[in-house]
Structure 1
Amino acid sequence: MNTRLNTASLDIPYTLRRSRRRRTISVTIDPDRGMLVHCPQRLPQAEIDAFLRRKAKWIRSKMALIDSIRASQKPISWQDGAALPYQGASYTLRIRADASGGSVSLHGGIIEVACGLAGQQPADETSESLVMAWYRREAERVIQQRVAHFQEHVGVTPSRVCVKDQKRRWGTCTSRGALYFNWRLILAPLHVLDYVVVHELCHLLELNHSPRFWSLVSSVLPDYRQRRSWLRQQGASLEIQQRPAMVH
């Protein structure tokens, strides 16, 4: 249900989701979906409004943070010397002509792309497609490794681990024991990626966010709150602004 928060200092549309199983009310700010409010099925609208008014200062700060992160993001030029994010750091893109072409490698602080010879597809278009594919391969490789490492600590084995282009979630766990992860986690620091991996592995034992679930997460990552805080504050920055596909 789409509605609005309307106060003296805020006028924000939000999505209201009611659930028979929910016992509490919560609000989250999603960079893609905006403000989401979850509440019990029969909670009166007046109580929802009062809750949001109490949270108005927090809502303003979160919206401002997302706006500032978006404003600071600049499209990548995809030309030689461009800055590329990878595992929480900035790397320099280097493009070299190569008859074989089609490869990406990491050397120190450099992401090197071997493109085809002159006269073929423009180097910036080639480097973009090659690096984006490389990001996904790296996400698959690193996430598989971290799942294998942490599943021993949690004491579970997922039925499947898959990396996808998820727009709205960093990770998901299904009732059948499959784990799905957002490839953009490869842009985050490793300790943040590890938090998402452990979070989803713990869902194989506790498919909820109960105190028992968080206790399990804490037993593996005692500092999970700091890692979660980084993701909540900086998650909106884990995005690559791609150019629209060209029509030839």
Structure 2
Amino acid sequence: MRRSARAKRFSLRVSRSDGRVSLSLPQWAPEAEALAFLRAREDWVRRHLQDAPPPKLARVGAMVPICGTLRPVESGPGRAARFDGGVIHVPPGPREGARIKALLTALARDRLASAVARHAETLGRVPGRLTLRDPRSRWGSCSARGDLMFSWRLIMAPPEILDYVAAHEVAHLAEMNHSAAFWAVCHQLCPETDRHRAWLKAHGADLLSWRFDSTPST
């Protein structure tokens, strides 16, 4: 449950990525009323939970997507995961997931930095700082200062999807809104904007369903 100063009523959300149920309520609302609201909508919650994809664990033996292609994860030497010959090699142990995440984040940073630089040059704009995070509700953002944030999970999507998100956020350097003028800039940088947006809407939950938690030692 989350209390919000902006909330005027109760609202429920079921994450398509991990099935997490969020109940938002106004600051003044009694918790008992919020729970009654939830119980009254139990059937709705259960239907949406059934639609959430099961979590996928990044570990040795899994097939993890890189640039839209599933890659096998195999045991490897050393202390860090590496991507070589189409295979993700990771030292076995409880930190397999964390090491794979670090590898994917490094790959995403390289790809996104290159895409941002290319699109910014096209517009004649200078982007600010680039950061990578793991948000659950957006793939990127652009601050008023021109700083760009992206989800490192974009490295799991096909390259054209990552490029579209980079173009989308760079377009905000010219139009800090989602007006018709913004979308015109976005289509200028990425003519297939509409198709790539549709791909993210259809497949984004699958990217978010991957878990990179540490696993218990046996």
Cα pair distance change 1:159/1:77, threshold 3 Å: closer
Matches for 1:146-225 after TM superposition, within 5 Å: 146-225=115-194
Corresponding residue number in structure 2 for 1:94: 74
Q: Offset of 1:196 from its aligned partner?
A: 0.8
Aligned AA for 2:57? I
Amino acid at match of 1:89: T
Matches of 1:90 and 1:2 in 2, distance apart? 44
Q: Counterpart of 2:30? A: none
1:76 matches 2:57 = yes
Q: Give the distance between the partners of 1:2 and 1:107, measured in 2 at CA.
A: 52
Report the equivalent of 2:100.
131
The equivalent residue for 2:86 is: 109
Q: Report the aligned-residue RMSD.
A: 2.8
1:246 to partner: Cα distance? 4.9
Segments of 4+ moved more than 6 angstroms: 32-35
Query: Does the 8 A contact of 2:80 with 2:99 survive in 1?
Result: yes
Aligned-residue offset at 1:14: 4.6
CA–CA separation in structure 2 for the residues paired with 1:30 and 1:94: 30
| Correspondence for 2:197 | 228
Higher relative contact order (CA 8 A, sep 6+): 2
SS in 1 for 2:130: strand
Q: Percent identity?
A: 29
Q: Secondary structure at the match of 1:233?
A: helix
C-alpha displacement at 1:105, in angstroms?
2.3
Residue 104 of structure 1 aligns with an amino acid whose one-letter code is: A
Unaligned stretches of 5+ residues in structure 1 = 5-12, 16-28, 36-59, 116-122
Distance 2:66 2:152 in 1: 11
Aligned length: 185
Does 84-93 or 148-157 show the bigger shift? 148-157
Highest Rg: 1 or 2? 1
Counterpart code for 2:84: H
Q: Residue 211 of structure 2 aligns with which residue?
A: 241
For 2:84 and 2:215, the matched residues in 1 are separated by 29
| Aligned-partner residue type, residue 75 of structure 2 | I
Contact 1:76–1:83 at 8 Å: present in 2 too? no
C-alpha displacement at 1:226, in angstroms? Answer: 0.0
Going by fraction, where is strand more abundant, 1 or 2?
1
Q: What displacement does 1:166 show? A: 2.3
TM-score, scaled relative to structure 2: 0.73
TM-score, with structure 1 as normaliser = 0.65
Cα deviation, 1:120-150, whole Å, max 9, x if unaligned, reads xxx2423222111111111111111111122
